[in-house]
Chain A
């Protein structure tokens, strides 16, 4: 454009030289010259402004190539559609970088540091976080509608609901994740769904629900890792969180009854165990005491006999000396002790005539009366 503008100006200069050779119409020419000069001046200054604007645009154009890679990402430049820097492209770290503006370069950002997360709800009934929080979920019907209600079938052909969160990171360099898949996160989600389905298809309902949740999760995780390796997603740090496995809502009560029965059984077993402990320790104590009793009895017997032997030996000379006197003496001594110790003594004198006497005995001794408060009570009345 500027070429075109310069041209008439040049022509004008030429005309001016020509006028000097033929000075006859000088006055007329002079007036015309002043006009064109003013026009030329005005044009010149406009060109200068246009040039400045163009230079400014060029600067803006060049600076538009600056971009900043965030702390949690990497970037690759595609130059004319090919990764720049050889091979899969040079991975650019966080910080400012420069690339040619489009269509020469294109900046592809890869969120390598970020933890991505997605939820599998393929096995869950339709609900929302708000409805769950408010407790206003849709009530469960008699059956599960295929298009609406999600669920999984377990290996023993039962139905469970399951949902879980998958967390992962894009492994460096991360180009596969960004460039090989049209919508990588959708495919990852489907692989995750598949892994959960895979685990459910081989687990018994009670194992998946309670008995072996860790094993269930491990099976799902292993399957998912296999799929990740096979599909070449280029992700790592896989974590399965918030896994919730519940029986169908329709059977909540039936499953609750089983749980109750299990609790009751545990209680019953605990009771039995404590009975077992008590009985055995009581038995042990009793056995110990019986053994001790035997031991004591033995000692007593041995001691007693030893004492008797001693007494016998001591008394033997006296016996030999005068049998009758010895007998009488001993007998009397013992009788004295007995009579002295006796609580009650009744002497029934024999009838001189030798007739029979009748003696009445009250054998059961009356227990001593305990002190009671009854008389005090009686006084109150």
Chain B
């Protein structure tokens, strides 16, 4: 099934395996970083309004952990992108140069800002503002890197000019789509932690995110026909997004009802489909000629360790739950 192809032996090609792992780990990473970016934004609004908001309080409590989880989960796609698009990824890194490297100090500052916002009420608004600024910079940088990777005709000119920023108009809809998706993902995660009364507000956040995401990405699709290469995944994304919107609408009416489960399942499906749709325009650019990578050993070790790792993480969660009850 597109975009996954068969290899010479009849099984999945190695590139398809890398691509699948890239997409899955990227989706997982997106869940955590969406909570961080949108949660920080939500908590900042609550802090500015000086309102006691239990959703914001819970978000502040979880944000440092979620950022840690997001960074850890982000190492997976960072690994697989180097296999799929090595030359493009490295070239874009180098063209953006030290300005690209600034995402690391931005994340460090953002991380400590979240701790500060959690621990010291007096500094909360400032800390959340700084954190949100850092995360917006990181999101912008990743989006910019993505666009530079695709723009090989422009590499020479960018290098010659010494420019570290590309103020490409395509950045705006991409980033805006992301921010909408982040709000929708945050709403799902936060709603499971919330009381039925609080879920109404999160349903509004989720619906708002979906509407923004849908409107901006539809406009972008209309301008960029390359996105149509996503075939059925685009339709799956549309159906899933509609399902998520229906789930949130249901939650607005009956906060304790099954609407949240529907919104969660549909958002998960939309996330997976959306990840493929996002990737579609560059799938044709996957580099396929590196024998060393294609024939590298160790996959069995990874599979065994992955199973063990999942079991250990499950065991940790179970131990904590059992110990606390």
Q: Do A and B actually bind? A: no
